[in-house]
Amino acid sequence: MADDARVASVPLAAHLAAELRRIREADLYRTRRVIDGGHGAQIQVNGRSCLNFCSNDYLGLAADPRLAEAARAALAQGTGSGASALISGYNREHQRLEEALADFIGTPRVLLFSTGWAANLGVLRGLLGRDDALVADELNHASLIDGGRLSGARYLRVPHADVTAFDAALQETAAARLRLLVSDAIFSMDGDLAPLPELAAVAARHGAALMIDDAHGFGVLGAGGRGTPEALGMRPDIQVGTLGKAAGAAGAFVAGDTDLIEYLVQRARSFVFSTAQPPAVAAAARRGLELIREEPERRARLFDNIRRFRDGAAALGIALVDSQTPIQPLLLGDAARALSLSQQLFEQGFWVAAIRPPTVPRGTSRLRITLSATHQPGQIDALLDALAAGMRANP
């Protein structure tokens, strides 16, 4: 390239200032708000008491004192694990949690990861390489997208929930050594379910494996709270779930057969090279899992709340996305409008996050309203009234 055609270098400070200005001008700037105390339905945000309608704490376990007590008991033995699981970080609490999860899901083995992001990257980078193919829903979580890109495999993204497109993509990749079809189970920004039984059939017909990320279904869906596979009557080859949503703690897991888990222990870089989660967190997650088993009334209250919210929205003329899960998006389109309505609600004591690009496609900014088993009927009705008034004021 000729010297005069080269792009002039820019100092880092100037580059960052320009990029931040661009983000602000597009109404896409994000800020953190500080929570004091527990993370429940009633929450202290930047010193203001709010009703929390943007958390993934679907069963209300994040602030349950029984999880805190389980963590305190484990803390008597120490705080950090001190090393990765393959060195000296694999504590008895980790083993107990893995065994409890495998028993609960009904799968031979489970492997713990520090986060859902680490789990998805660990699986995709560990299993796939240049001779393989990944066929993925275009609306999959960012961790699945990044894991697919980093794997080196041929990566085909297909239209959302389009079974025919999945089928065609698997035909197109017939020469690949290993083919993996991957999808969210519940899509985190729309709340809809993937057509998992149909995807399982397509994968089986082509000799491909099916991996699902059930972060938002685990603990919520199914007669026993075992997740989307239980609710839809199917079983994927690889199931990823998280422990920081319905289970009220933190961390994630991969569930599957023994060879899968043993292979990931050897090759999942985000497992091999990460310090194991604190044993107290594993203890809290195991107590959360016990409560999912023991208190099915939490799921019943959650779905009562979902019905109340949707029925109330329909009565008030509030058009929601068709979702039967705790994730109830209100599409607004414009980022500035979503921000304005979110701020107006916050000033009235309701915390509902505005979701904007790049988290969602351009032109689909929204309020992502989420419901919990611990929301009271009057709180839901109050939010609906505030939403209706806010939308009239911001047409």
Per-residue pLDDT of 25-35, as tens digits, reads 999 999 999 99
Q: Is 206 labelled as part of a ligand binding site?
A: no
Q: Is 242 labelled as part of a ligand binding site?
A: yes
CA-to-CA distance for 316 and 298, rounded, in angstroms? 27
Q: Is the pLDDT of residue 6 over 80?
A: no
Which tokens sit at 334? 């414009």
Which tokens sit at 199? 């995807």
The per-residue pLDDT for range 72-113, each reduced to its tens digit, is 999 999 999 999 999 999 999 999 999 999 999 999 999 999
pTM of the model: 0.94
Q: Is 359 labelled as part of a ligand binding site?
A: yes
Between the alpha carbon of residue 17 and those of residues 21, 30, 47, 123, the distances in Å are 6, 15, 30, 37
Percent of the chain at pLDDT above 90?
A: 95
Question: 9: buried, middle or exposed (CB in 10 Å: 19+, 13-18, 0-12)?
Answer: exposed
Pick the CATH number of 32-62+296-393 from 3.20.20.70, 1.10.3720.10, 3.90.1150.10, 3.40.50.970: 3.90.1150.10
Q: Where are the domains of the chain?
A: 32-62+296-393, 72-294
Q: Is 364 labelled as part of a ligand binding site?
A: no
CA-to-CA distance for 283 and 1, rounded, in angstroms? 59
Is residue 133 within 8 A of residue 156, CB to CB? The reply is yes
CATH fold of 72-294: Aspartate Aminotransferase; domain 2 (3.40.640)
- Identity of residue 75: L
Q: Using 50, 70 and 90 to split pLDDT, how confident is the model at 4? A: low
Annotated catalytic residues are 188, 216, 245
